[in-house]
């Protein structure tokens, strides 16, 4: 099946090479983002933003749990 689709075109190798490089690059970016960046207090604040609003926590339990 593979040969049926790719045997007749030289260009068809490029998307596969591109995919391989994309995956490697993507892993590189992930590594950079997670290990190369300084800790940012602002980033931590933003990550917690949904918890920093007015709603508070209203218990969702009811009496039928028991």
| Residues 5 to 44 in contact with other proteins, rule: CB under 8 A | 5, 9, 11-19, 21-23, 25-26, 28-30, 32-34, 36-37, 40, 42-44
For residue 23, the minimal CB distance to other proteins (Å) is 7
- Cα separation, 23 vs 56, whole angstroms: 42
DSSP characters for 4-23?
HHHTT-STTHHHHHHHHHHH
For residue 31, the minimal CB distance to other proteins (Å) is 11
DSSP characters for 41-62?
HHHHHHHTGGGSSTT-------
- Identify the residue whose tokens are 């690059």: 25
Residues found near other proteins in the complex (CB under 8 A): 1-2, 5, 9, 11-19, 21-23, 25-26, 28-30, 32-34, 36-37, 40, 42-44, 46-51, 53-55, 57-62, 64-65
């Amino acid at each position: 099946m593979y040969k049926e689709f790719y045997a007749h075109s030289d260009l068809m190798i490029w998307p596969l090479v591109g995919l391989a490089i994309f995956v490697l690059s993507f892993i590189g970016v992930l590594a950079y983002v997670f290990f190369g960046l300084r800790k940012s207090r602002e980033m931590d604040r933003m990550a917690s933003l949904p918890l920093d609003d007015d709603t508070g926590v209203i218990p969702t339990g009811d009496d039928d749990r028991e």
